[in-house]
A and B are shown apart, each in its own frame.
Chain A
Amino acid sequence: MKDPMNLVITGVGGQGNILVSEILAKAAAAVGYKVTVGESYGMSQRGGSVSSHIRLSRKLLYGPIVPAGSADVIVGFEPVEATRAALEFGSPGVKIIVNPRPVYPVGVLMGKDNYPDIDTLLGKLKEISAHVVIIKSTSIATQAGNPVVQNVVMVGALAGIGYTSIPKETFGRIIGLSVPEKNLDLNMKAFNMGYEAAQLFRALKTN
Chain B
Amino acid sequence: MSWKDVIEGKQGDEVLLNGNEAIARGAIETGVCFAASYPGSPTTEIIETLARIPASEIYTEWSVNEIVSLEGAAAASFAGLRAMCVMKSDGLNVAFDFLTSMNLGGCKGGLVVTVADDPQGHSSVKEYDARYLAKAAMVPVLEPSSVEEAKDMTRLAFELSERIKGPVLLRSVTRIAHSRGLVKLGEPLREKRTAFFPAGECFLTKTVFHMKARDRVGKAALVLEECGLNFAEGPEQAETAIFCSGTSLLYAREAINMLGLRDEIKLVRVGTTYPLPEYFILSHLKGVKNVIFAEEVRPFLEEGVMLLYARKSTNKVRFFGKISGDVAGTRGPSCGEMNVDIILQALANVKDIQYHIPGYPRNKIAEIEAMIPPREYAMCPGCPHRASFWAVKTAIAVDGRDCIVAGDIGCYCLGAWDTGFNLFDTLHCMGAGPSIAGGLSKLGRFGLKRPALTFVGDSTFYHAVIPGLINGHYSGSDFMCIVLDNGVTAMTGHQPHPGTGITVQGMPVSKIRIEDIVRGFGVTCEIADPFDSNHVAEKICFLLREPGLKVLILRQECALVARRRERQKRKVYVDQSLCRGDTCGCGRFCTSVWGCPGNIWDQAAGKAAIDEAVCAGCGVCASLCPVGAIIVEGVD
- A in complex with B: yes
Q: Taking beta carbons and an 8 Å cutoff, which residues of A are in contact with B? A: 12, 14, 21-22, 25-26, 29, 34-43, 45-49, 60-65, 67-70, 80-81, 83-84, 87, 90-92, 103-116, 120-121, 124, 127-128, 138, 142, 147-148, 177-178
Cβ of B614 under 8 Å from chain A: yes
Cross-chain contact of B180 among A22, A63, A112 (Cβ < 8 A): A22
Given contacts A26-B16, A62-B250, A106-B595, contact A39 B377 (CB under 8 A): no
Q: Distance (Å) between the CB of B575 and the closest chain A CB?
A: 20
Mark contacts of B576-603 with chain A using CB atoms, 8 A cut-off: 1 yes-contact digit, 0 otherwise: 0000000000001001110111011100
Cβ of B364 under 8 Å from chain A: yes
What's the interface size class on B, roughly? 35 or more
A-side contacts of B625, CB under 8 Å: none
Cβ of B365 under 8 Å from chain A: yes
Cβ of B112 under 8 Å from chain A: no
Cβ of B198 under 8 Å from chain A: no
Cβ of B445 under 8 Å from chain A: no
Q: Is B371 touching A116 in the complex (CB atoms < 8 A)?
A: yes
The stretch among B48-56, B355-363, B426-434, B466-474 that forms the contact with chain A is: B355-363
Q: Is B122 touching A109 in the complex (CB atoms < 8 A)?
A: no
A108–B596 CA distance with the chains assembled, in angstroms: 11
Cβ of B368 under 8 Å from chain A: yes
Can you list 14 A-B pairs, Cβ within 8 angstroms, ordered by A? A29-B14, A29-B16, A36-B180, A43-B377, A47-B376, A60-B253, A81-B375, A103-B614, A107-B373, A109-B600, A109-B601, A124-B371, A128-B368, A177-B1
Cβ of B124 under 8 Å from chain A: yes
Cross-chain contact of B339 among A48, A67, A87 (Cβ < 8 A): A67
B-side contacts of A178, CB under 8 Å: 1
A-side contacts of B600, CB under 8 Å: 104, 109
A103–B181 CA distance with the chains assembled, in angstroms: 31
Q: Distance (Å) between the CB of B579 and the closest chain A CB?
A: 16
3 closest Cβ pairs, A-B complex: A42-B123, A69-B359, A63-B250
Q: Is B359 touching A68 in the complex (CB atoms < 8 A)?
A: yes
The stretch among B171-179, B301-309, B535-543 that forms the contact with chain A is: B171-179
- Closest residue of chain B to A128 (Cβ to Cβ) is B360
Q: Distance (Å) between the CB of A108 and the closest chain B CB?
A: 5
**Could you count the A-B residue pairs with CB atoms below 8 Å apart for me: how many are there?**
186
Cβ of B380 under 8 Å from chain A: yes
Q: Is A21 touching B180 in the complex (CB atoms < 8 A)?
A: yes
A-side contacts of B14, CB under 8 Å: 29
Q: Is B597 touching A65 in the complex (CB atoms < 8 A)?
A: no
Cβ of B374 under 8 Å from chain A: yes
Q: Is B368 touching A91 in the complex (CB atoms < 8 A)?
A: no
A-side contacts of B253, CB under 8 Å: 60, 63
Given contacts A63-B340, A138-B613, contact A37 B597 (CB under 8 A): no
Mark contacts of B8-33 with chain A using CB atoms, 8 A cut-off: 1 yes-contact digit, 0 otherwise: 00000010101000000000000000
The stretch among B61-69, B231-239, B411-419, B512-520 that forms the contact with chain A is: B411-419
Given contacts A29-B182, A36-B179, A67-B254, contact A42 B360 (CB under 8 A): no
A62–B337 CA distance with the chains assembled, in angstroms: 17
A116–B175 CA distance with the chains assembled, in angstroms: 33
Q: Is A110 touching B591 in the complex (CB atoms < 8 A)?
A: yes
B-side contacts of A26, CB under 8 Å: 16
Q: Tell me which of A21, A61, A111, A124 has the highest count of chain B C-beta atoms within 10 A of its own C-beta.
A: A61
B-side contacts of A12, CB under 8 Å: 375
A-side contacts of B371, CB under 8 Å: 83, 116, 120-121, 124
A-side contacts of B376, CB under 8 Å: 47-48, 105-107
- Closest residue of chain A to B180 (Cβ to Cβ) is A37
B-side contacts of A64, CB under 8 Å: 175, 179, 247, 250
Cross-chain contact of A91 among B124, B174, B358, B377 (Cβ < 8 A): B358
B-side contacts of A147, CB under 8 Å: 613
Cross-chain contact of B593 among A47, A67, A110, A120 (Cβ < 8 A): A110
Q: Is A105 touching B344 in the complex (CB atoms < 8 A)?
A: no
Q: Distance (Å) between the CB of B121 and the closest chain A CB?
A: 8
Given contacts A67-B339, A90-B359, 6 further A-B contacts (CB under 8 A): A37-B179, A45-B560, A63-B247, A70-B358, A80-B373, A83-B368
B-side contacts of A103, CB under 8 Å: 597, 614
Q: Is A39 touching B601 in the complex (CB atoms < 8 A)?
A: no
Cross-chain contact of A113 among B178, B182, B369, B374 (Cβ < 8 A): B374
A80–B118 CA distance with the chains assembled, in angstroms: 26
Cross-chain contact of A110 among B18, B340, B595 (Cβ < 8 A): B595
Cβ of B372 under 8 Å from chain A: yes
Q: Distance (Å) between the CB of A27 and the closest chain B CB?
A: 10
- Closest residue of chain A to B179 (Cβ to Cβ) is A64
A104–B560 CA distance with the chains assembled, in angstroms: 20
Q: Is A39 touching B375 in the complex (CB atoms < 8 A)?
A: no
A177–B419 CA distance with the chains assembled, in angstroms: 37
Q: Is B182 touching A34 in the complex (CB atoms < 8 A)?
A: yes
The residues in B between 280 and 332 inclusive whose CB is less than 8 angstroms from any CB of A are: none
Q: Is A37 touching B181 in the complex (CB atoms < 8 A)?
A: yes
Q: Distance (Å) between the CB of A88 and the closest chain B CB?
A: 8
Given contacts A90-B359, A109-B592, contact A61 B174 (CB under 8 A): no
Cβ of B41 under 8 Å from chain A: yes
Cβ of B154 under 8 Å from chain A: no
B-side contacts of A29, CB under 8 Å: 14, 16, 182
A160–B560 CA distance with the chains assembled, in angstroms: 33
Q: Distance (Å) between the CB of B530 and the closest chain A CB?
A: 18
A-side contacts of B599, CB under 8 Å: 109
Cross-chain contact of A38 among B175, B369, B596 (Cβ < 8 A): B175
Cross-chain contact of A109 among B123, B250, B365, B591 (Cβ < 8 A): B591
